Every structure is written in structure tokens, then in C-alpha cells.
Structure 1
Amino acid sequence: MQKDKPHFHGHRERLRQRLLDKGAESFADYEVLECLLFGANPRGDTKPLAKKLIEEFGSLAGVFAAAPEELEKISGMGNAAISLVKIVPEAARRMSKTTLLDQPLINSWEKLVDYCQISMSHERIEQFRLLFLDRKNRLIADEVQQKGTVDHTPVYPREVVKRALELNASAFIMVHNHPSGDPTPSAADLAMTREVKAVCQKLGIELHDHLIISRSGHSSMRNLGLL
């Protein structure tokens, strides 16, 4: 007697074909995750797990931003599935970064903001990033200097200057995130920025801007007239 086929029989192939025919834009968020999880579960139904992840973390971006220890609490999320989920934002970050290379960074402002949003907007703690530039304002190095708490990152001007001199950088851009979701600069942000700028100016190193990144958007201290 022939066994009944599982209810999801053929579903994977239909989903893959829709991807090829109509593109990923036709997918709901859970379907994106569903396809991604095929690689970790070759035969099972990944739709319930995909929907559970969206429900648990609130959005597709929330799933990708979740820490491995949070993901492993979800039934069905083993090491293979967690690895697939965590590699996606890194791939997106690297793809975005390539658009910034070998060109003056200050002439590619929208691409820079997009890169920072991808890299930092969903971080759960504050992260302080430095983008060091050469004399033609091309990117030399992109480095996370410090990580802090949910609302504070310690920044030491002498460390910023030291690294800029090591890289022979002529200028740099400061970037940090606000996990609260509000990209408005705080009084502490402004005081720290002015202190760093004053120290660097004495050595001929220019601070182009300080960007603050959040889930809801970004702010530029230069555009706000604060630099």
C-alpha cells in the first residue's frame, strides 16, 4: 500500500520555481527564511519554523540580528540552521562594503549610510566604529573600536589618534549606534565628538562626520551643524 505523501510534498520545488520565475521580491518574510532553512533541513517542512522565528523576533531583520544563544532556544534551530541565519547579515555587510571601495567615501554618502545601517542598526548594544580615510578620502580601514552597554560606549580620544597615526590616515568618520531606536545625538555624544575632533586637529587629522545609526534612521552631526 502506498504511503500518503507529506502535506508539504512538492512545496519546496514550487517555492524554488517561484523564486526563479518571479524573483525573491514575491516572497513573504517567512518564505525567505523557509528557503534559507532548506539547507539545514533537507527533507522536513521548514515553514512552521520560519513562521515561529518571525513571531519570536518580530521581523526578518530581528531574526538575523538575534544572537546564537537566542536562536538555539527555538525548537528546531540546531547549529546548521543557526549558522545559515547568522551568515546572511555578514554576507550583506560585505556586499555593501564593496560599493565603498576605491572611491572617495564622502562622495558616496548614501552608500555609506546604507552600509552602516546594515552593519549596526540592529545591534543590541552600542558599538563604536571608525572609518579611516587616505588623502583622497578612500577607505583604508573599517574597524569596531569599542563595544559598550545598551546606552553607552566608552571612547578614548588617544586610542582614536593612535590608530589613525598607525594607519597613516588623513581623515576619519566616526559611527555609533543607538539601540534605543532614536538617532538623536545626546549631550555625551556631542561632548565626546568635540573632544576627539580637538585632539585630532592638532595632528592634522580631520574628522569628517559622526554618524549615529538606529533602526529608525540616522543622524549626521555635520548636517545638524554640530561639527
Structure 2
Amino acid sequence: MCDRTGQTLDTTLLLYMKDKTSTNNTQPGHIGHRKRLRQRYIKAGIGSLADYEALELLLTYTRSQRDVKPEAKKLIKTFGNLAEVLDSTIDQLLEIEGIGIQSAVLIKLVKDLSTKYLNEKQIYRKTINTPLDVVDYLRTKLGAYKKEAAMTLFLNSQNKIVAEEIISEGTVNYVYVHFRNIFEIALKYNSTAIIYVHNHPEGKIEPSDDDIRHTQHLVETAKTLTIEIHDHIIVNRYAYFSFKEKGLL
């Protein structure tokens, strides 16, 4: 009887140790999956990943011990597409179950770094001759705003941008701007020309009557300071309207 009990205990102990060793040597499925995602990205670039997979790979850097595919898919389902996810606010991201402050900040940081890259790589080094030279950047910068905002690009005598400023933020369909603020900044940077920009988050891209009167007043004020208004551009995420192209300047 003692022998049987000892044999039973030995057998149980062996089975326990075997099960424990097997558990330690087997990684959770999501660990292998994220490794394959990472390798695919390294070899073939971002185009090899679906939108949710790109977000999933990003989120692995804030959630190292859990599967983040559900959160990535939930982000795409909630906001509609990758661009909308990146354009969302931190507060909006935090409303998604499973998305904490670290993940929300990382997502926003990716968008802001991309914008800064466009700024330094494309905009500040080129001579600005037409609205097309800046419109993609402006749509990236202001197109996703949920409220109207006014921004000004300040140019030097070689038509190169020396600075940019968000002058004012308003409501979903109105923004009030003090011209004095614009020209104080222009004089600070010895700017000889300005491109004035604002967005239309809702409704049509064409200017309102107030937009047209506002622009005329801006041009008249600029003349007294020998500063040229190169253009007034209205943007949203998908389109733009140039006062210069339409003969309104």
C-alpha cells in the first residue's frame, strides 16, 4: 500500500512538472502574432498592414502583456478609418474601452510628429508660389479641427515660410480674429507677406459673405504696413478654396 501511494505521488509530481514546463515554454498566441506583424512591417512597410493591424502594432508598445487586436479593431469601427482615429482627440480616444492614457497619447503623438515632419521637410524649405504648394500641409494642419480656427503663414521676401501661428479658435461655424495679432507677429518676423487660412469643419468650402468682407479688410490693413496678402485659403479635410485662384484677391 505504501508502494502504491508513493508511486501515485511520484506519477502526480511528474505530470505536474511536465505540465508546468509545457506552460512555461508555450507563448500566448498574441505574442507570436505581434512578432509576425512586426516582421511584416520591417520587410514590406506600412502598406503590408491593414489599418487595424497598423494600430495594433502601435498599441503593442503600450500594452506588452495582452492582445490588443480587439482595441485596434474597435478604434477603426468607432471612428470609421485610420485618418479619423489619428484626428481624434485624447478625450475621444479615452472613451474607447481598453484605451488608456498611454495609448491615447501615443496615437496623438504619431499624428503630431507626422504633421511636424511635413512642416520641416516640405513647407519651410520651399518657395511658395501657388496654393498647391501649401494646401496639403494646411489640410493636414487644420482639416481635422472640429471647430473653426484661423491660422497665418508668414513669408519672407523670398516667399519662404518663416513662421506659422494659430491665431484664433472659435465655434463650429465662426471664428473671430483680431488683425492686430496677425500684424504684430508679421512685424516680429520681419515678414513681407502673409497667407491667411481658416477651416470650414462643417458645410460647404466656399466662403461666406463675412469671409469675403473679412478678407477685404485684411488686405486693406496690410497695405498700410506694406505687407502683402498672398492668399486667403479655406480648407477642410478633402478640399480647399483659394481666394487668389478665384480672383477674389
TM class by smaller structure: over 0.9
- Aligned equivalents of 2:66 and 2:209: distance in 1? 53
Give unmatched runs, 5+ long, in structure 2.
Answer: 1-18
Query: 1:27-106, aligned counterparts within 5 Å?
Result: 27-98=49-120, 99-106=122-129
Query: 1:35-184, aligned counterparts within 5 Å?
Result: 35-98=57-120, 99-106=122-129, 109-180=131-202, 182-184=204-206
Q: CA deviation at 1:181?
A: 5.6
Q: Secondary structure at the match of 1:172?
A: strand
The answer to whether the 8 A contact 1:181-1:216 is kept is no
Q: CA deviation at 1:21?
A: 2.0
- Aligned equivalents of 2:32 and 2:182: distance in 1? 56
Q: CA deviation at 1:158?
A: 2.6
Who is 2:35 aligned against? 13
Give unmatched runs, 5+ long, in structure 1.
Answer: none
The answer to whether the 8 A contact 2:173-2:201 is kept is yes
- Aligned equivalents of 2:74 and 2:229: distance in 1? 45
- Aligned equivalents of 1:59 and 1:181: distance in 2? 21
- Aligned equivalents of 1:159 and 1:212: distance in 2? 20
Q: CA deviation at 1:78?
A: 1.2
Who is 1:220 aligned against? 242
| RMSD between aligned residues | 1.6
| Number of equivalenced pairs | 226
Which one has a bigger Cα radius of gyration? Answer: 2
Q: CA deviation at 1:5?
A: 4.8
Q: TM-score, normalised by structure 1?
A: 0.93
The answer to whether the 8 A contact 1:92-1:118 is kept is no
Q: CA deviation at 1:121?
A: 0.8
User: What's the CA shift string for 1:66-117, capped at 9, x where partnerless?
Assistant: 111111111211121011011011111111111122332226x434111111
One-letter code aligned to 1:129: M
Who is 2:11 aligned against? none
Higher helix share: 2
- Aligned equivalents of 2:27 and 2:118: distance in 1? 43
Q: TM-score, normalised by structure 2?
A: 0.86
User: What's the CA shift string for 1:158-192, capped at 9, x where partnerless?
Assistant: 32222222222100101111111632212111111
- Aligned equivalents of 1:133 and 1:13: distance in 2? 47
- Aligned equivalents of 2:203 and 2:46: distance in 1? 28
CA, structure 1 residues 118+181, in 2 after alignment: closer, same or farther (shift >3 Å)?
farther
CA, structure 1 residues 181+119, in 2 after alignment: closer, same or farther (shift >3 Å)?
farther
- Aligned equivalents of 2:232 and 2:92: distance in 1? 31
- Aligned equivalents of 1:35 and 1:183: distance in 2? 36
Who is 1:24 aligned against? 46
